[in-house]
Amino acid sequence: MTDTVPAPPTDAAPRTAGGATVEFRALRRSFGATTALDGLDLTVQPGELLALLGPSGCGKTTALRMLAGFEHPDSGQVLVDGKDVTSTPAHRRDAGMVFQSYSLFPHLSAVDNVAFGLRMRKVGTAERRRRAAELLELVGLPSHADRFPHQLSGGQQQRVALARALALRPRVLLLDEPLSALDAKVRTNLREEIRRLQLELGITTLFVTHDQEEALSMADRVAVMNAGRLEQCAAPAELYDRPATAFVAEFVGTNSRIPGHLADDGYVEVLGRRLPAESGTADGSHGSHGSGGREVDVLVRPEAVTVSADPTGDALVVAAAFLGAVTRVTVRLPDGTDVKADLPSTEAAVLPPGAPVSLSLPDRPVLVAARAA
């Protein structure tokens, strides 16, 4: 039995009044000697799903909690539709929040959990049960209304938590790693459901995650954070294809660092070729460090590397990981550098470990970073 949910009837879906614009302006927050946010500037457009992505401790959850009203900045502002809500209590902010732990009331049924916020707002019994029933249908659990949390699977409990967050028809939905406690199959199904609901309701949504696959598959834009600062905010394809910094390039997707020489003219000599350095290259260098340039690393995605059998080649295949239609081949250069390449499995089959090969890169700009220590 899976947690796959059929699409609900369209007339069951409560409608929001439209998503809100959310702005973080120069937010700073420290906890003792630890800087959680270091001048965060970020705008979320109405109806957009924006993922805050980054490693543990990067500040993404702190930013979300500031929007919810659970944390307050040392300086800076949080605005919703142009209104400064920095000092507004959490219960007066038009936001619904779903946590990593489902946080359901164990003594209440699913329908009563969903209706809880409506009861606190003095909505009549009949109306709140009607709206709670609509929301349970929206999340695919109409037959589970009378079940208690211990009678529900993890995915079902998280759906109830999502319905509860939507019950008050918030203009902003906040999701704090809501899928991390679920197994892989349920997590995949539920992230698809969250995205479907978000699009259907048109609600502005911030989604905190450290899982790049979740962020790239769900979000309109992804904001990558590191040590309290925003590294880059862009659509998933742009983030992957044109990372603004070395951190983004290596945190999102897989890269190999290949030694190269950055010349004064902005070209990089790598694997026997001269290629232009990407505009705004990762460490901000364009060969302006004196006559003769300097040694750098070139960051290369595995799908950009071409591997050819070559009896005279000075690189060797050292490993191959079968991934279905694609096989990820690891090739070792003479200096000991390992380069990953994604090849069609039919091509990789004739390149067993130990096979001599040659490598090449496409004729396009490459991202350059400071040489790794």
* Edge-to-edge strands, sheet with 204-209: 95-98, 172-176, 204-209, 49-53, 221-226, 229-234
The order of strands in the sheet holding 367-370 is 273-276, 267-270, 256-262, 294-300, 367-370
Same domain, 171 and 287: no
pLDDT of 319 higher than 60: yes
**SS3 of the chain: helix, strand, coil, percent, to 5:** 30, 30, 40
**Residue 1 falls within a domain, yes or no?**
no
CATH code (residue 32)? 3.40.50.300
Domain boundary among 246, 272, 303: 246
Q: Tell me if 3 is assigned to some domain.
A: no
- pLDDT, tens digit, 9 for 90 and up, residues 32-90: 999 999 999 999 999 999 999 999 889 999 999 999 999 999 999 999 999 999 999 98
- pLDDT at residue number 279: 63
Task: Identify the band that residue 13 occupies on the pLDDT scale cut at 50, 70 and 90.
Answer: very low
268 confidence band (pLDDT: 50, 70, 90): very high
Is the domain of 295 the same as that of 198?
A: no
Unique residue bearing structure tokens 């992804």:
222
3-state class (DSSP) for residue 179: coil
117 vs 7, higher pLDDT = 117
Chain position carrying tokens 């050292």: 318
Q: What is the mean pLDDT of residues 227-231?
A: 95
Given pLDDT bands bounded at 50, 70 and 90, which one contains residue 131? confident
Asked whether residue 31 is domain-assigned, the answer is yes
Instruction: With respect to residue 2, please indicate whether it lies within any of the assigned structural domains.
Output: no
Which whole number is the average pLDDT over 87-95? 89
The closest alpha carbon to 198, from 215, 173, 176, belongs to 173
Tally of CB atoms within 10 A around 106: 8
Query: What is the reported pLDDT for 285?
Result: 44
Closest listed residue to residue 221, CA positions, set 81, 80, 44? 44
CA pair distance 46, 300, nearest whole angstrom: 35
Question: Among 276-280, 309-313, 351-355, whose mean pLDDT is lowest?
Answer: 276-280
Using an 8 Å Cβ cutoff, are 29 and 66 in contact?
yes
Examine residue 304 and state whether it is found in any structural domain, yes or no: yes
Q: What does the pLDDT read at residue 248?
A: 92
Q: How far apart are CA 70 and CA 89, in angstroms?
A: 8
Q: Select from 195, 230, 246 the last residue of a domain.
A: 246
pLDDT at 191: 85
Q: Classify residue 175 by its DSSP letter.
A: E
The CATH number assigned to the domain holding 324 equals: 2.40.50.140
Q: Is the model more confident about 10 or about 96?
A: 96
> Is residue 80 located within the same domain as residue 182?
yes
Share of the chain above pLDDT 70, in %: 91
Q: What's the structural domain count of the chain?
A: 2
Q: What is the pLDDT of residue 16?
A: 43
In a domain, 5, yes or no: no
Q: What is the pTM (predicted TM-score) of this model?
A: 0.81
Enclosing domain of residue 311: 254-370
**Radius of gyration (C-alpha) of the chain in whole angstroms:** 25
**Which one is predicted more confidently, 123 or 302?**
302
Mark whether 196 and 322 lie in a shared domain.
no
* Average of per-residue pLDDT across 348-359: 94
CA–CA separation, 205 and 203 (whole Å): 6
Q: 71: which 2 tokens?
A: 């944390």
Share of the chain above pLDDT 90, in %: 54
DSSP 73: -
The pLDDT score that the predictor gives to residue 256 is 94
For residue 129, what pLDDT is reported?
85
H or E element at residue 126: helix 125-138
In a domain, 165, yes or no: yes
pLDDT tier for residue 284 given thresholds of 50, 70 and 90: very low
- Residue 3: is its pLDDT beyond 50? no
DSSP per residue, 337-360: -EEEEEEEHHHHTT--TT-EEEEE
Domain boundary among 214, 246, 278: 246
pLDDT tens digits for range 109-119: 989 888 888 88
Q: How far apart are CA 151 and CA 163, in angstroms?
A: 17
Q: Which stretch of 38-52, 176-190, 200-214, 281-295 has the lowest confidence by average pLDDT?
A: 281-295
Is a pLDDT exceeding 80 seen at residue 372? no
Residue 4 lies in a domain: no
Give CA separation, 31 vs 17, 25, 69, 250, in Å: 37, 19, 17, 28
**pLDDT score at 280:** 53
Phi, psi of 283 (to 5 degrees): -105, 10
Task: Report, as an integer, the average pLDDT of 164-191.
Answer: 83
Same domain, 241 and 264: no
Q: Please provide the average confidence, as pLDDT, over all residues in the chain.
A: 87
pLDDT band with cut points at 50, 70 and 90 for residue 237: very high
Q: Are residues 80 and 171 in the same domain?
A: yes
Q: Does 205 share its domain with 297?
A: no
246 closest CA partner among 209, 295, 293, 298: 298
199 and 262 assigned to the same domain: no
Are residues 278 and 218 located together in one domain of the fold? Answer: no
Q: How far apart are CA 280 and CA 124, in angstroms?
A: 58
Judged against a pLDDT cut of 60, whether residue 182 lies above it is answered with yes
Please, which pLDDT band fits residue 225 given cuts at 50, 70 and 90?
very high
Predicted local distance difference test score (pLDDT) of residue 48: 96
The DSSP code for 334 is: T
Alpha-helical regions (H) of 8-93: 60-68
Region 235-257 average pLDDT: 91
Q: Do residues 154 and 229 share a domain? A: yes
**Burial track 162-185 (b if 16+ CB lie within 10 A, e otherwise):** bbbbbbbbbbbbbbbbbbebbeee
Q: How far is 172 from 169, CA to CA, in rounded Å?
A: 9
The neighbour count for residue 282, using CB atoms within 10 Å, is: 24
One domain, residues 210 and 172: yes
230 and 285 assigned to the same domain? no
For residues 176 and 280, which has the higher predicted lDDT (pLDDT)? Answer: 176
Q: For position 287, what pLDDT does the model report?
A: 42
